[in-house]
Amino acid sequence: MSNLVILLFAYINIKGIKESAKVQNFIAITLVSLVFVVFTIMFVKVDRSKFLENYVYDYKFNLGEVLRIFAITPPLPLWALTIYLKYVRNMTLELKLPL
């Protein structure tokens, strides 16, 4: 009897995963499509002379400008990884598991 309940829950779970995957695929495709449409419209309607004047002609690479962008980007993923690794290390030491 318990096997039947487990199989029923597994079946429901698999059906739910398939349905949620379909929804996520739809959302992702819609997002990419909308970005492509907006980019295409902007490319068609933009004044290319202003674009070339501002971004192509007389362009000089400035490392300071690039570093400003990196400076304001928070290194959260690195912090999260560090915290996780410390947690795993503490748990392995507490349980006396080999590292």
Q: For the segment 67-77, what is each residue's pLDDT rounded down to a tens digit?
A: 877 776 666 66
- What is the pLDDT of the chain when averaged over all its residues? 81
- In this prediction the pTM is 0.45
Local confidence band at 56 (pLDDT 50, 70, 90 cut-offs)? confident
Q: Compute CA distances 85 → 43, 70, 92, 98, whole Å.
A: 45, 24, 10, 14
d(CA 11, CA 17): 10
Q: Compute CA distances 53 → 39, 42, 48, 60, 90, whole Å.
A: 20, 17, 8, 13, 57
d(CA 55, CA 47): 12
